[in-house]
Structure 1
Amino acid sequence: MKIRPMAQADAPDVLRVYAEGIATGHATFETETPDWDGFDRARLKTPRLVAEIDGRVEAWAVMSGVSSRCCYAGVGESTIYVGEAARRKGVGRALLTALIEASEAEGYWTLNAGIFPENVASIALHEACGYRRLGRQARVGKMRHGPMAGQWRDVVLMERRSDRVGVE
């Protein structure tokens, strides 16, 4: 496995992995995979990482901003998707660890994540990488696809505070 920065040439594989996550019905409220321009515009330019296995991108992790206010400059939302072929092989943990390190190198002191409670593997991954549960937003949105279509979904809020950045 190789972890490296995401490149535009990775778009087909990144979007394929995203589509696999959408199809589970437990990864996002999104119902359709965006085109690359939409994906690109919705996320910060860095850090963006991919995990490559045998020359093919099988997982990705990116950051999104949480606010345009300057006091939140070091707070970001982390997102990770692991394709079916790479699940339960340590790829997610290696990739999320690399994203944490890259985000700290860019000055982020807090990472947030919102995860459906049914996605126990993602919650366990985040906890293994130092995130803690802050709480649960009840009925935050109604699902339009997947096994819970038509149902209101809760989201578990998680946070990871750096022990190296923003501690002074």
Structure 2
Amino acid sequence: MPHSANQGSIQSCPAPILYLLSRYPLWSETFIRQDMRLLRTELPESCFMALFAGDCPMQPDWPQVQILCNKTRGQSFAKVSRNKLRRLIPGALQARLVLFKYRRTLRELSRQARLQQVRHIHAEFADLAAFLGMHAARRLGLGFSFGVHAADVYANQYSLSALVQGAKF
């Protein structure tokens, strides 16, 4: 969790954080659940949201996450092919197409952030959640950050430079 030296400990942060994921729960993401437990301990007022449901049922001991969109979002062969073709489209046009496609999800994310009175949106990966989280944060005048992992650098679907421009470190 990024914070500057003059803020003191993370517990002194009075504003809630919206911790945003693209999909949850996922069997493979055990470290995400650990991060959420730690954040819940340190900042109990934080809220956890995912854009879409994950690939497995929620287990009783896992952190609870609000799912914004009931549609599932899988990786079919057709989607993988579309993703490869999409890389041929200029980045600015891709961004507009993604914003159009997920406009309802972005509206709901913005609405929930307002209702929860969050002051900062943090996306765990540089993926669709980061892209929509950045735009929701801009619309609402909130802080925004995201985590970058190896897959985000080497196989990213969204422009890291665009995400970094909107992030606060």
Question: Normalising by the residue count of structure 2, what TM-score does the alignment of the two structures yield?
Answer: 0.31
By percentage of residues, which structure has more helix?
A: 2
Q: Larger % of strand: which?
A: 1
